[in-house]
Amino acid sequence: MVTPVLPATARTLLARTARVQRDGRAPSLVAGVVRDGGLAWSAGRGDVAEPHTDVQYRLGSISKTVTALVVLRLRDEGRLGLDDLLEEHVPGTPFGERTVGQLLAHLAGASSESPGGWWERVPGGSLAELRLTDDDVVLGSARRFHYSNLGFGLLGELVARHRGRSWAEVVRDEVLLPLGMERTTPRPTGRAAQGAAVHPWADVVLPEPEHDAGVMAAAGQLWATLADLGRFAAFLLGDTGDVLSPATLEEMTVPAGIDSSSPGWSAYGLGVQVLRVDGHTLIGHGGSMPGFLAGVFVDRSEQAGAVMLANTTSGLDPLVPGLLADLRAAEPRIVDAWVPSPPPLPLDLLGVWFWGPAPLVLRAQSGGLLHLGPLPGRPGRASRFAPRADGTWVGLDGYYAGETLRIAPDHLDLATFVLTRTPYDPEAPVPGGVDERGWTAP
């Protein structure tokens, strides 16, 4: 059950929203905060009809996250791998040697836009009509993060070919309707805001065009209401239903490409942006199309999200991170009480181990995980580990992500390193052996 924010919190959130709409001169703006699975507060400013939660705005690049969900569903079904070459699924493009995972993370070196006219303002066609050439490959693969709308157009084509239906039909049936996002559509339906550009030097507006983007739809076609975008925020917070497994959602949030142009810490996972703002990691996506700006980001440590939709082409100060900061300051999350739980290993295997002469601590964590890291206050590598069925453990993050940890009574075997109970224990299988003279003073 969604708990509404406190009246004082609502006033703070409304004050920030009102200022962003006024100072950014957006014809209309709707915003909300999400917790407990839905909107805990929302407001509309400017020329927006009530209920403001049921007016459609264009999502822009938030559509990419929806596209990524279907690609990952195909992966989880075993129909493709993230290391598969695009040529295996969409043959005949100049990106045939780039992988599905690189396209998802904007690491494939594809040009930022599709060739031809400005795809966001002119009607689109099929992949064949783009007439892609080697000129559309602008960087080497996996060299650097380079945001690519074209890359997600290609992923939308991959989705359509695997399912034998249009991208729009697939995302509707596999993501939107299962999540209850019935007012999210590829074209505006019912009550919808008119996209607008605001003149830079005067308070006048110009309508922006709207059209079917064709093969590029997967990069920015969708329209949604604030209520539906709030539901999507709940999905990003872990309420995935039958659309995606929690493990795959977690995989999406792992940074793959770093956006070095960002003034702060900014990265991209598999179809989601990962931002570090004021010590908090935010997961989600922004969106912009001519006439519209949008944003959905969640703070999983606080189990809260924020959403925003506006019908202006540019000029708004960031709103979503500010709403999350306001909510966090006014109503910080009260975490669950700590309770004892059985460790996944015998207690005598936990505690201090030595990587050469460096002490590390192996300790149990909730959820049946292990954590290996340096003593408090000391530098060193740290990773969490999850159990495998064969008795080994796999690294989840940090330096040892994906590496195998094997635990024996007298040593740990990790990525060729042997950790011992005492520094370079001569009784353990230390690689290279231990000098028989032992520890001496020069």
First to last CA, the chain: 69
User: What pLDDT sits at residue 258?
Assistant: 79
d(CA 197, CA 275): 28
Amino acid at position 322, single letter: G
User: 410 pLDDT exceeds 70?
Assistant: yes
Amino acid at position 75, single letter: R
Residues contacting 419, CB < 8 A, separation 6+ = 353, 354, 355, 360, 411, 412
List pLDDT tens digits, range 285-327.
999 999 999 999 999 999 999 999 999 999 999 999 999 999 9
Mean local confidence (pLDDT), 179-193: 97
Helices (H) and strands (E) in the chain, counts: 10, 20
HSE value, Cβ hemisphere, 13 Å, CA-based, for 313: 15
List pLDDT tens digits, range 348-401.
999 999 999 999 999 999 899 999 999 988 888 999 999 999 999 999 988 999
User: 226 pLDDT exceeds 90?
Assistant: yes
d(CA 108, CA 141): 5
Mean local confidence (pLDDT), 48-71: 98
User: 259 pLDDT exceeds 90?
Assistant: no
- Residue linked to tokens 């900014």: 266
d(CA 401, CA 395): 4
Is the separation of the CB atoms in 318 and 19 below 8 Å?
Answer: no
List pLDDT tens digits, range 92-145.
999 999 999 999 999 999 999 999 999 999 999 999 999 999 999 999 999 899
User: What pLDDT sits at residue 339?
Assistant: 92
Backbone angles phi, psi at 207, to 5 degrees: -65, 140
User: 89 pLDDT exceeds 90?
Assistant: yes
d(CA 237, CA 146): 27
Assigned CATH topology for domain 7-330: Beta-lactamase (3.40.710)
Choose among 237, 224, 221: nearest CA to 297: 237
d(CA 414, CA 411): 10
Choose among 5, 55, 9: nearest CA to 29: 55
Percent of the chain, pLDDT > 70?
Answer: 99
User: What pLDDT sits at residue 261?
Assistant: 67
User: What pLDDT sits at residue 215?
Assistant: 97
Q: What is the mean pLDDT of the chain?
A: 95
Structure token digits, residue 300: 């999983």
SS (H, E, C) 116-167: CCCCCCCCCCCHHHHCCCHHHECCCCCCCCCCCHHHHHHHHHHHHHHHCCCH
The pTM for the full model equals 0.93
The strand ranges marked E within 52-141 are: 57-58
User: What pLDDT sits at residue 257?
Assistant: 77
User: 150 pLDDT exceeds 70?
Assistant: yes
User: What pLDDT sits at residue 279?
Assistant: 87
Phi/psi region, residue 109 (left: phi>0; alpha: psi -120 to 50; beta: rest), is: left
Percent of the chain, pLDDT > 90?
Answer: 93
User: What pLDDT sits at residue 442?
Assistant: 78
User: What pLDDT sits at residue 51?
Assistant: 97
Mean local confidence (pLDDT), 51-74: 98
